[in-house]
Amino acid sequence: MTLRDWVPIFALLVPGLGLILVLIGSVVYVAVAQSFGYYALLGQSAFSLEFWSDVFDRKLFSRAVRYSIYVGFWSAVLSVALAYPLAIWLRKPFPGSIGLGALLKAPLLVHGLVAAFLYINVISYNGLLNQFMQGIGIWSEPRRLQNDPNAFGVLLLQVWKNMPFALLLLTGAVQSISDDILDASRDLGAGPWARFCKIIAPLSISGMQAAMVIIFIGALADFTFQTTVGPTNRQSMAQLMVSFKSRGDWHSAAVVGVSLMTIALLGSALLAFTSRVIMRGGLR
């Protein structure tokens, strides 16, 4: 195609794509500039590395980075690991498969904050789980299950919320695989695990990568689940950013925000690359 052929295409893309790029670019620019001392709400704006040095020297920041990566990574891995067998199971229609698929995707319609409060009602000190365990005689008294230090509650909610999204992407990717390929591999003696490693996983890797990257970014920067059911002895990067902002320290909050965007970008690229290497090399 010549340059003249591309002109109408660019003209159609500019109204929508241009607006998106301007909005996103302006937000990123302000955040980066504010992290270096510009756009000060109080006082004089001037270039400075003081805020980066101050934030990076805090143990609270390094702990928040490790904790956020931990939640983001395991949320993505567990969501995709649960969604893969379900996507393969629902690949071919069977009686009730449409209703079952809709039921599995139901969490997409529930707001995260609502799910968090429902979860609290189940695991609270006088919640349904404690009452059930005491009723059947396993526990003699209620136990504190809320705000566990290992963030199992956060991971459970993240997987519950994000697994249907991964299932949506993986179902489309798995259904696009031709039956002839799977039937031929079965005739050649390949078992279920071999068919998954040699055929299904490599051919659906794009859907898997998209699911992992999107879930990782969302869980990495999540605020709702962290503040409602997260551990009280740790803060995520989103919580730390809000904490700085609530004290009026917008420059430090911008440092955390830019760091969060950078980790999301680099982590997504590393996650996508690693998953491709594992799927195309490690499973062979």
Domain boundaries, the chain: 1-35, 50-282
Residue 52: CB atoms within 10 A of its CB come to 18
Q: How far apart are CA 261 and CA 90, in angstroms?
A: 35
pLDDT over 90 at 119, yes or no? no
What confidence score (pLDDT) does residue 76 get? 94
End-to-end CA distance of the chain: 40
Domain 50-282 has CATH 1.10.3720.10: yes
Q: How far apart are CA 79 and CA 58, in angstroms?
A: 32
In three-state secondary structure terms, 68 is helix
Looking at this protein, which amino acid is placed at residue 127? G
Tokens 């995520």 correspond to 236
What dihedral do alpha carbons 252, 255, 257, 261 form, nearest 10°? -170
What CA–CA distances, in Å, run from 71 to 44, 75, 154, 226? 38, 6, 8, 10
What confidence score (pLDDT) does residue 238 get? 93
Give 191's DSSP letter.
-
- Average pLDDT rounded to a whole number, residues 222-227: 89
pLDDT over 50 at 282, yes or no? no
Q: pLDDT for 12-58, tens place per residue?
A: 666 666 677 777 888 888 889 988 988 777 767 778 889 999 999 99
Q: pLDDT for 234-281, tens place per residue?
A: 899 999 999 998 888 899 999 999 999 999 999 999 988 887 777 665
Q: Own/partner pairs for 112-119, CB < 8 Å, 24+ apart?
A: 112/157, 112/161, 112/222, 112/224, 112/225, 113/224, 113/228, 115/157, 115/160, 115/161, 116/157, 116/224, 116/225, 116/228, 116/229, 117/228, 119/153, 119/156, 119/157, 119/229
Q: How far apart are CA 84 and CA 90, in angstroms?
A: 10
pLDDT over 50 at 117, yes or no? yes
What CA–CA distances, in Å, run from 52 to 68, 127, 252, 271? 19, 44, 7, 26
What CA–CA distances, in Å, run from 148 to 130, 229, 241? 15, 8, 22
In three-state secondary structure terms, 242 is helix
- Average pLDDT rounded to a whole number, residues 99-124: 85
pLDDT over 60 at 1, yes or no? no
Question: Would you say 203 and 177 are in contact if contact means Cβ atoms under 8 Å apart?
Answer: yes
Q: pLDDT for 127-154, tens place per residue?
A: 888 888 888 888 888 888 788 888 888 9
